């Protein structure tokens, strides 16, 4: 199962989906577009574990992490 | 003979000090986690999943971890707090300047520091462009 992890006030909310299920994949892509459109940054990890930011939906990504826009504190 | 004895005693003392430090750290972690809400624990769990092995070891021991900025190669120390928690280090590992940038939404500390880590490791210039800086109060 692939996962989209969205940071929120509860820690995070996880959306699991089967990447082989066309409908689930479409929903995951819509969620990606909606979140990044709202200012969230999407990050995935490389095979070596290093984070990298992704600007487009990757259907093969096992885990995508979304965090809100950053501002000066 | 006496040199060998001194060496053995030194090793034994180092081992004991290491053991005391590890026990103290375990006790601190346990107490910290007892006071955490479920949300904060979830944030810590997510953070730990995304830290590199070296960062995780540092975080477990000291409650902070170092990251290298992707653009400048500078080292930043991120402390486990929700704000004014990033320090740019000089070559000797001393705190040179503080940086503060946070996610716009209210998040638990684990999420905040994870977002800061990813931002510095993947988009250092963009992150610092929105950050405010401050002078560290102590070294």
Share of chain B above pLDDT 70, in %: 86
Three-state DSSP at B51 gives coil
Closest Cα in chain B to A68: B103
Question: Is residue B31 pLDDT above 50, yes or no?
Answer: yes
Q: Crossing angle, helix B38-50 and helix B109-130, to 10 degrees?
A: 60
A73 touches chain B (CB under 8 A): yes
A43 touches chain B (CB under 8 A): yes
B121 touches chain A (CB under 8 A): yes
Handedness of CA B42, B44, B45, B46 (dihedral sign): positive
Q: What is the pLDDT of residue B139?
A: 47
Question: Using an 8 Å Cβ cutoff, are B103 and A7 in contact?
Answer: yes
Kind of pairing between the strands at A2-8 and A63-67 = parallel
Distance CA A3, CA A15 (A): 6
* Of B3 and B32, more confident: B3
- Is B1 buried (19+), middle (13-18) or exposed (0-12) by CB count in 10 A? exposed
Q: What is the pLDDT of residue B9?
A: 78
Question: Is residue B34 pLDDT above 70, yes or no?
Answer: no
Write down all domains in chain A, each with its CATH number in brackets: 2-67 (3.10.20)
Question: Is residue A68 pLDDT above 70, yes or no?
Answer: yes
Handedness of CA A20, A23, A26, A27 (dihedral sign): negative
pLDDT tens per residue across span B82-129: 999 999 999 999 999 999 999 999 999 999 999 999 999 999 999 999
Q: What is the pLDDT of residue B2?
A: 73
pLDDT tens per residue across span A22-47: 999 999 999 999 999 999 999 999 99
């Amino acid at each position: 199962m692939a996962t989209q992890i969205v940071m929120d006030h509860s820690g995070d909310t996880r959306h699991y989906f089967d990447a082989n299920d066309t409908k689930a994949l479409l929903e995951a892509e819509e969620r990606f577009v909606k979140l990044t459109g709202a200012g969230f940054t999407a990050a995935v990890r490389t095979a070596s574990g290093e984070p990298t930011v992704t600007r487009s939906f990757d259907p093969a990504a096992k885990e995508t992490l979304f965090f809100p826009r950053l501002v000066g504190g | 003979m006496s040199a060998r004895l001194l060496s053995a005693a030194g090793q034994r003392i180092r081992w004991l000090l290491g053991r005391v430090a590890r026990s103290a750290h375990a006790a601190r972690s346990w107490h910290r986690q007892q006071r955490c809400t479920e949300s904060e624990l979830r944030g810590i769990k997510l953070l730990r999943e995304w830290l590199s092995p070296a960062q995780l070891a540092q975080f477990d021991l000291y409650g902070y971890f170092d990251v290298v900025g992707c653009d400048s190669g500078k080292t930043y120390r991120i402390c486990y707090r929700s704000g004014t928690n990033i320090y740019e280090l000089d070559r000797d590992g001393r705190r040179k300047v503080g940086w503060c940038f946070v996610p716009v939404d209210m998040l638990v500390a684990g999420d905040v520091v994870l977002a800061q880590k990813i931002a510095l490791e993947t988009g250092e210039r963009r992150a610092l462009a929105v950050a405010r800086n401050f002078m560290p109060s102590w070294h």
